[in-house]
Structure 1
């Protein structure tokens, strides 16, 4: 009896081992469905999902890929292949006349530019105007091209930290990519390639990567609120900190580029000294170095004298607004405009005085 019990136990154990060893095959034989599985019903899309889908469907046809070639590089037109010297980014339709807005750094130095529309069609474009101080450029689609609808324009002055933000672009060449986030901060300062600073820059955590440059930053209504221009990332990829040029600046600069091909640079003919010099003196402001024959020199501003070791004037106010750094001054100069006068409050030998200077186009050819 005992031997029989042992024998039965061994058979059971062996059977269990066989079942375990062949379980995957048994599962397929006995449990795998012979036909496609039934689709499980789902609830309706949320209001947020529906609004985001609608926004993308409405706006994406107006977002394009911008590709430029430099020198002897072969631009990616239908009859050409890409190669070295190719630079690419994003742009968007500005108006019904076929003007496209993008970043200056996307097309700067390009000998030839191509635009790939959302439909996949590739058309040639001409560079109409560049504004390096604002990292903006305007292109014009070749005549006869089908022009998608322009984007609706919003106001960046109305933005609030925490409201939704949407970016559409071509990160790493992956076209028509949508990312979402919020406005993380306002009134950031962004250095431009020409040594000036763009003020009131928008910071967002909507993913912005290489290739998104020049693309639109949108509010929840699908209106343009900024032009994506840069990211802050040691690795070169998105780290949750992206920057966009505010649309209020774009809406002022783009018409000038369309009309003239360039944008006047308001100034008074000074070179700003190191901010640390003013800080060492216990004063917040812009240390002045005047250019010979400049509006600043004619107004009586005294610049730094490196030979005598004299600091000279420090601009601490403009038209009643406090000037703590160069961007504060350039903001007021742009608000006044070329051809008008600006009232400056300056500190000289720790005493305050007021001067009036003519605002000129410091980069006029």
Structure 2
């Protein structure tokens, strides 16, 4: 009974549908009746600026990767060790050897790092080296990929256009655009060290963008996105990128040494509050001169105690004409040089200002 009823309903339905179809056909052939035509979308007209952004993204996207990390956890009861997802970020291909640049804080503490390319291929990555004070990490994967071309950051100008590609909140291959909002900013590395000459941009940077490239309008990498200024944790139009000139110097050392090798004068300095208590109003007070260092060979003097009185050592005033007001000034200035380079050090010895030449030696980070 149910089967016959279903067939009857189906027959009526088909008849009704066919009837509608047939009744509609003659009207379309009535002379003077408007003919139904498929509407073609007009060719989309793009501005030159839009075409440029699209072109940059298409060229750069295959070299931008999605980084995921995990850490090892142990089951307290069963003693089993397993991997637990711990975070994600962005990176980009640096060279043809499979090196990938990202932020140190993206992979910090991870026991496993994986890299996913635009085509979906996911590979385990090896950590080649890290530079925590620059918030830079260098990975390597077994894949030949096209590197992003590196530009320069010393000639950037406020107002020029920039693009950021990353994986905010896990949304991979996201493009945002903005401008260089300011230059010469400072931000802090995970270790608290000041990173100088940081680029400020209003291109939206959110959690997950860290380690991604900041590109100019030609598609050249000018910085590595590293931080945002926000009270909510999401983009507030103020993002920061480590300048590419700093990244180049850092990556070169990570490839060669696996670590950041910093040149040093060979001195230990007094804390600012201690120096002020001792009457030092400018410069950096030397507490100790490391034996056999460049500073020792140049005759720099350390502070010492004589007959219960503290005799102040030399006070560093500048290097190669750049004034020194804090320790970070000294560290950032020294990073422009290599071990073995000779720098001119201005110093205060008692009431006398003088200048000496010091050969820099190597100090591992």
TM range (shorter): 0.7 to 0.9
SS in 2 for 1:72: strand
8 Å CA contact retained: 2:161, 2:216: yes
- What are the equivalent positions in structure 2 for 1:4-83 lying under 5 Å apart? 41=42, 44-72=45-73, 83=84
Matched with 2:268 is 270
State the match for 2:121 in structure 1. 121
Structure 2, unaligned runs of 5 or more: 1-35, 75-81
Offset at residue 311 of structure 1 (A): 5.8
| Aligned residues of 1:60 and 1:168 also touching (Cα < 8 A) | yes
- 2:155 pairs with one of 149, 155, 158: 158
- Which moves more between the two structures, 262-271 or 178-187? 262-271
Change (3 A) 1:304 1:62: farther
1:289 and 1:188, CA in 2 relative to 1: closer, same or farther beyond 3 A? farther
- Rounded Cα–Cα distance in structure 2 between residues aligned with 1:133 and 1:333: 14
Alpha-carbon distance change, 282 to 168 in structure 1, aligned in 2, over 3 angstroms? same
Question: 2:300 touches 2:314 (CA, 8 Å); kept in 1?
Answer: no
Match for residue 334 of structure 1? 335
Contact preservation (8 Å) 1:272, 1:326: no
1:318 aligns with: 319
Number of aligned positions between the proteins: 318
Distance 1:171 1:43, change over 3 A: closer
Check conservation: 1:161, 1:186, Cα contact below 8 A: yes
* Closer, same or farther: CA 37–210 of 1 in aligned 2, 3 Å: farther
The superposition leaves residues 287-325 of structure 1 with CA deviations (integer Å, 9 ceiling, x where unpaired) of 4343653734564233487x8566643322112232233
Give distance in 2, aligned partners of 1:205 and 1:304.
50
- Tell me by how many angstroms 1:174 deviates: 1.0
Note if 1:231 corresponds to 2:215. Answer: no
Change (3 A) 1:135 1:294: farther
| Maintained 8 Å contact 2:268/2:290 | no
Aligned in 2, Cα 1:256/1:229: closer, same or farther, shift over 3 Å? same
User: How far 1:37 moved relative to its partner?
Assistant: 10
Answer whether contact 1:278 1:286 (CA < 8 A) is retained: no
Q: Which has the higher strand share?
A: 2
1:240-276 per-residue CA deviation (whole Å, 9 max, x = no partner) reads 2111111111112212212221120222232463289
Following the alignment from structure 2 to structure 1, what is the Cα–Cα distance between the partners of residues 270 and 154? 28
CA RMSD of aligned residues (A): 3.0
Tell me which residue corresponds to 2:32.
Answer: none
* Corresponding position of 1:241: 238
Q: Which residue of 2 aligns with 1:288?
A: 286
Give the drift of 1:60: 0.8
Q: TM-score, normalised by structure 1?
A: 0.77
Q: Contact (CA 8 Å) 1:284, 1:325: kept in 2 or not? A: no
Quote the residue 2:138 is aligned against.
Answer: 138
The Cα shift of 1:159 comes to: 0.4
Measured after TM superposition, the shift of residue 238 of structure 1 is 1.3
